[in-house]
Structure 1
């Protein structure tokens, strides 16, 4: 009989139909081809009908958010027993506060994802020690976060530390896709190099440093275009900055994009750049995933030196790590890639190989062994 995981998460579609989230992608991968590998316990659904289209069981709580209370822990243990789950994955740090209660009430391995722990500030270190005391495995979103956990936890701690991030669909994100649809849609001629930045447009994503970098890049590469894909609260400021800097005619704002459209956008680009600024891991998680998806498409990447995004690029091998506050430094690294297409192409090829080896969903979930993932 295949192993079964109870996934406990607040990050799941449902209201109004829902959109893809880390939680839903994780559930689909855990489910396996038969849909038997996962049960999801999450928040109330609203009226979207999302659950009716999923192949695995979804149990909804009556409230809008799961909290690490005695009632929630009791419900988790009931579901583990009722569905004969071999493992529970508490998918964010806050839920990990009930790890000890869950372990005391049910058989099976207790895994806690430490996503979001940075939001707790000074309380994060004692919180992590408390979570570790009740868990079998801590799943950290980056190697930096894993090493921080090693330094935080006492030597006698027996919890296993692994890295668990969102995996990449390397079939969807692959080199060689047709660039014409995206070039045509966004009015790009294809004559000059294209730098792509795709993310939720908030200050910490660093898109403003790319706009500033264009003032230097246009001098050396007159036909260069910066393609900024996404929406968010920083969009208006970015448009104003492009006008103020005199580069508005070289910056294209695409508006929102879907996961299905991102591979086409990557196909239209020569470089992917997301100079994220240091911020808490839960806010940079999506940006970090975008870096890997671009690398999977064979693009060299320029990434900011934030904790979660930092280990999604191998500096001077698959791209460059930059200070997201230093627009001139960002321009310098982009210039190196645009001036030497052969080196850029080689970096992109190595990035693709690296993603295939270490960043697929199967590679991510294999780190949770010894409980095997169903085929």
Structure 2
């Protein structure tokens, strides 16, 4: 009997739907592709209150695997949480553990190992790259690396930063495990024309940005680029898809620059409607930038790959691992984060050249199909576990 294939996995994470976000989508998509009879998820509560509780309960009930929620909105490796994780491991006969984010929950690895875990995998994201720069956090990250079987990384940027904080042995065990793209959900013809029609954008050149509205993502750079874009393409519109705390500042910026009529904010959009909103664009742009001395950095930028799967050329910022999601000059371009002129030049070039947009979009779609499909990456995770 293949005992490796028979292992039940305990996923321990703060990042799980219905809490929104890229890491949450990554973990959920991976969990869905594992054997549901051999998956148990131990996650924090999304948010307190009746609305949050109802949304969480409805989501959990719809899953094919067991989801156990902690009463807290943020799991930390405290004695109580560790005891609960150990209890779930034993109750469900789990023999492998996947920490959805290595830091700080990976500090529970020794206790879970003593309780019977045979394989422990911890996934790193952008924030662990930030941890690697801080003395105390570096020591904790090193401990996590030494007590797990492997740390996974998103791309070369995160690997190089995190490896510096690890022992040589732990660094040598690192394995790439990036998020994937559902190429059957994100594809050309995903409903973009209907979105354009509904929003009154039919017939206009559309630059779309799909992301949470926070300073790192670079929506302010796109707005600052719009006067130059409009000088070349007077009918162009920037479609900003997503919600977040930065929206009020962005709206004020657009008004101040006199481009408010050419910037459309959708607010938060349900996940199932996102593919159509990608498809509403002619060009996808998110010129992300690194902030706070390297502590606020883009881990990868799955939205670039979702845009590529939809057949769009992309304009990406150079923050952290974002360039790993673009073949510069082939599926799109990488620009320096925080440079409106450079961003505008690339957007204007793409809007003026339909053949170039088609060529880059086609190349991006092919790259996703050959390297970034969820089924390929889920096979890799199963092997690690």
Tell me, yes or no, whether TM beats 0.5: yes
Listed as ranges, the gaps of 5+ residues in structure 2 are none
Distance 1:282 1:351 in 2: 27
Equivalent in 108, 120, 131 of residue 110 of structure 1? 120
Distance 2:358 2:371 in 1: 20
2:63 corresponds in structure 1 to 54
Following superposition, the deviation at residue 321 of structure 1 comes to: 0.8
Following superposition, the deviation at residue 371 of structure 1 comes to: 4.5
Asked if 1:7 is matched to 2:11, the reply is yes
Distance 1:125 1:223 in 2: 50
Choose 105-114 or 39-48, whichever is displaced more.
Answer: 39-48
Following superposition, the deviation at residue 331 of structure 1 comes to: 0.7
Return closer, same or farther for 1:82/1:126 CA change in 2, 3 Å cut-off.
same
Following superposition, the deviation at residue 139 of structure 1 comes to: 1.6
Tell me the secondary structure at the aligned position of residue 260 of structure 1. Answer: helix
Asked if 1:274 is matched to 2:286, the reply is yes
Following superposition, the deviation at residue 273 of structure 1 comes to: 0.3
Following superposition, the deviation at residue 210 of structure 1 comes to: 0.8
Distance 1:333 1:24 in 2: 30
Following superposition, the deviation at residue 65 of structure 1 comes to: 2.9
Distance 2:205 2:113 in 1: 54
Distance 1:91 1:33 in 2: 14
1:330 corresponds in structure 2 to 343
Tell me the secondary structure at the aligned position of residue 86 of structure 1. Answer: strand
Distance 1:33 1:118 in 2: 27
Asked if 1:89 is matched to 2:93, the reply is no
Following superposition, the deviation at residue 34 of structure 1 comes to: 5.7
What whole-Å deviation, never above 9, does each CA across 1:99-156 have from its counterpart, x for those lacking one?
Answer: 2332233132111122332454513432221111101010223331112233433334
Distance 2:165 2:21 in 1: 33
What whole-Å deviation, never above 9, does each CA across 1:315-337 have from its counterpart, x for those lacking one?
Answer: 11111111121100111111221
1:132-147 matches, cutoff 5 A: 132-147=145-160
What whole-Å deviation, never above 9, does each CA across 1:190-221 have from its counterpart, x for those lacking one?
Answer: 1x321001111111111111111111111112
Following superposition, the deviation at residue 226 of structure 1 comes to: 1.1
What whole-Å deviation, never above 9, does each CA across 1:199-253 have from its counterpart, x for those lacking one?
Answer: 1111111111111111111111222111111222221221222222122222222
Listed as ranges, the gaps of 5+ residues in structure 1 are none
Contact 1:318–1:348 (CA under 8 A) maintained in structure 2:
yes
Distance 2:189 2:25 in 1: 28
Following superposition, the deviation at residue 265 of structure 1 comes to: 1.6
1:308-347 matches, cutoff 5 A: 308-347=321-360
TM-score after normalising by structure 1: 0.88
Return closer, same or farther for 1:61/1:224 CA change in 2, 3 Å cut-off.
closer
Choose 161-170 or 120-129, whichever is displaced more.
Answer: 120-129
TM-score after normalising by structure 2: 0.86
Distance 2:372 2:138 in 1: 28
Distance 1:6 1:247 in 2: 50
Equivalent in 157, 167, 170 of residue 154 of structure 1? 167
Distance 1:271 1:367 in 2: 32
Following superposition, the deviation at residue 283 of structure 1 comes to: 6.7
Tell me the secondary structure at the aligned position of residue 329 of structure 1. Answer: helix
1:162-173 matches, cutoff 5 A: 162-173=175-186
Distance 2:275 2:89 in 1: 38
CA RMSD of aligned residues (A): 2.6
Following superposition, the deviation at residue 281 of structure 1 comes to: 7.8
Following superposition, the deviation at residue 267 of structure 1 comes to: 1.8
1:295 corresponds in structure 2 to 308
Asked if 1:251 is matched to 2:263, the reply is yes
Equivalent in 66, 83, 86 of residue 77 of structure 1? 86
Distance 1:262 1:31 in 2: 19
Distance 2:191 2:169 in 1: 54
Contact 1:201–1:207 (CA under 8 A) maintained in structure 2:
yes
